[in-house]
């Protein structure tokens, strides 16, 4: 009997469903987003007087000078009574050292209130989700979200060589530009981390319905709890639980969420932030 060489075994092709391929593509995109963000930005909690003051200055530029929602002042800071019991999330642009964005978490206790309840208007019609139904230490209001105008400019503006004042940059890179739309999302991710660490379960926000729809596209699906009111434009009150926010976080943002967890260390920072805010409040 003559010897017959065995035929080569054809390699098996890995069969992936369309949904699996899509999920792998999203995971790859998510990892790239987190890596790119880490290269250009860092989210953190404002934990000292210098950082808090920079946030007040950013808010003044946005709320007082640019949009003129609040009166300007010679100190060039924007601050109100709620800041005495608030904490701040910030996103710093690493190449320039500038604060690209910030938000405030008003965390009341005892007889303290949150801004949307003090507008003088009936902003809440959904009584089951009214803040008064929950313990004060379990609620917060997210407000004073601000992005520096230099990180909101359109791509065409940046092609002309625009860059942050004093940054020493001739222009933003294309990779940086692609990261700018996620600054706001990273602020909300940081806020959810702080809320979870502090035992806050319910978050409220007063925003334009159009913005609420935009946030929904990013995975922040809030429940509308009140009618439109005229407050610096047409706005409405919304509610979301921290648990719902994190459980429904799209795959695209999960690596970014884990990254921000590493730079947002709430417990010691929040204690320091509270002490600094008390000192600032006593000196103004």
pLDDT in tens, 118-172: 987 789 999 999 999 999 999 999 999 999 998 986 444 544 444 444 443 446 8
Calculate ∠ Cα 71-181-170, nearest 5°.
85
CA-to-CA distance for 124 and 58, rounded, in angstroms? 30
Quote the tokens at residue 194: 């702080």
16 phi and psi, to 5 degrees?
A: -115, 140
Q: Which residue has the tokens 């391929």?
A: 21
CA-to-CA distance for 202 and 240, rounded, in angstroms? 6
Domain spanning 39-282, CATH class: alpha beta
Cβ neighbours of residue 69 closer than 8 Å, sequence gap 6 or more: 63, 232
Task: Work out the burial of residue 109: count CB atoms within 10 Å of its CB; fewer than 13 is exposed, 13-18 middle, 19 or more buried.
Answer: exposed
What are the tens digits of pLDDT across the range 247-257?
A: 999 999 999 99
What are the tens digits of pLDDT across the range 160-218?
A: 444 444 443 446 888 888 899 999 999 999 999 999 999 999 999 999 999 999 889 88
């Amino acid at each position: 009997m003559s010897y017959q060489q065995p035929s080569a075994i054809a390699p098996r092709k890995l069969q992936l469903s369309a949904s699996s391929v899509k999920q792998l593509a999203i995971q790859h995109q998510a990892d790239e987003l987190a890596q790119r963000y880490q290269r250009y930005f860092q989210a953190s909690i404002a934990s000292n007087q210098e950082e808090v003051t920079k946030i007040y200055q950013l808010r003044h530029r946005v709320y007082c000078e640019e949009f003129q929602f609040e009166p300007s002042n010679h100190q060039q800071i924007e601050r109100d009574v709620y800041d005495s019991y608030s904490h701040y999330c910030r996103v710093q642009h690493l190449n320039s050292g500038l604060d690209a964005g910030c938000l405030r978490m008003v965390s009341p206790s005892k007889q303290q209130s949150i801004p949307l309840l003090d507008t003088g208007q009936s902003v809440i019609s959904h009584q089951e989700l009214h803040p008064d139904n929950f313990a004060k230490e379990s609620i917060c209001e997210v407000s004073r979200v601000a992005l520096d105008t230099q990180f909101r400019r359109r791509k065409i503006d940046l092609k002309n060589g625009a860059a942050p004042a004093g940054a020493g940059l001739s222009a933003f890179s294309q990779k940086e530009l692609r990261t700018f739309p996620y600054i706001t999302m990273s602020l909300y991710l940081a806020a959810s981390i702080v809320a979870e660490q502090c035992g806050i379960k319910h978050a409220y926000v007063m925003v334009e319905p159009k913005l609420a729809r935009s946030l929904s596209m990013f995975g922040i699906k809030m429940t509308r709890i009140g009618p439109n009111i005229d407050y610096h434009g047409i706005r409405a009150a919304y509610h979301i639980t921290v648990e719902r926010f994190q459980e429904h976080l799209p795959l695209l943002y999960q690596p970014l969420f884990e990254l921000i967890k590493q730079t947002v260390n709430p417990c010691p920072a929040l204690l320091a932030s509270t002490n600094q805010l008390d000192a600032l409040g006593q000196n103004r």
